[in-house]
Amino acid sequence: MYELIQAAGNSWYIQSPAKIGLVKLNEGEVCLIDSGSDKDAGRKVRQILDANHWKLKAIYNTHSNADHIGGNRYLQGQTGCRIYAPGIECDFTRHTILEPAFLYGGYPCKDLRHKFLLAQESGAEELTKEVLPGGFETISLPGHFFDMVGFRTPDDVVYLADCLSSRETLDKYRIGFIYDVGAYLQTLEMVLTMKARLFVPAHAAAAEDVSELAQYNIDKVNEIGEKILDLCREPMCFEMILKRLFADYGLTMNFEQYALAGSTVRSYLSWLKDGGRLSAVFEDNMLLWQRA
């Protein structure tokens, strides 16, 4: 873990729970794509930088989930590097309480205020074309989170952030986190036909071709949508839909899963309702969902 692997040319990645991109800008300076999950991840990145006599110039965050920005504060404090994040992700990176609050739908209790959902705040700036290194390109990857982006380097290496999950992850956890289901499917359809010298997803193996994995992700999204529609043949409240999904998939509920999977299921319900496949009614002051 935390092994430095060369992707191509000056483009590298650090093997970690959420892969960290590293790109040499010149002989002495590098930038990172994301920073890992916490201060310890930041320390391990710092050790790699020191061992190679590299100065960290900037961190480019793909999005603001805690496992991608957790090392920001430590590395910025140690190196004085700049941090950039796109759109709404920049606000979430500056004010990290927004992530667990958004996921829970209110002020998060202590069970949700931990490093896996609540990173340390860092001094992020807005990601624009002007602050990108020469030859870099941002790739809009909405759906998983608000304004998530990927990056294509001059070596034609594409860092895909969280728009793809590995088969193993999908088969184990079944309900992968999604903010906007419709946008996520559009992103996956784009990735399906994308070409690059090498793709580096944060939570799947680096590969020259990710089309089969993209299709597997698409199939799993549609499978869950159909599963929810099947459950809603009779009017059903959100809590019961979530309970039935966990029971049918053999999952175990806890606060973290309630927030992550619960937020995702609400997003599915919105997607299905907006697409005319679910209807919503209020009965006895309870919101019920039913197949249209």
Quote the tokens at residue 76.
């910025």
pLDDT at position 277: 98
**Whether CATH 3.30.1560 fits 231-291:** no
Query: Residue 115 has what pLDDT?
Result: 96
Q: What is the dihedral of CA 230, 236, 237, 243, to 10 degrees?
A: -50
- 144-194: per-residue pLDDT in tens? 999 999 999 999 999 999 999 999 999 999 999 999 999 999 999 999 999
pLDDT, position 165: 98
Contact 152, 185 (CB under 8 A): no
CATH of 3-222, one of 2.60.120.260, 1.10.3720.10, 3.60.15.10, 3.30.70.100: 3.60.15.10
pLDDT at 47: 98
Q: What is the pTM of this model?
A: 0.97
Spans of the chain below 50 pLDDT: none
Q: 291 CB contacts (<8 Å, ≥6 apart)?
A: 229, 230, 232, 233, 277, 278, 279
With vertex at residue 1, the alpha carbon angle to CA 146 and CA 144, rounded to the nearest 5 degrees, is 10
Q: Where in the chain is the domain with CATH 1.10.10?
A: 231-291
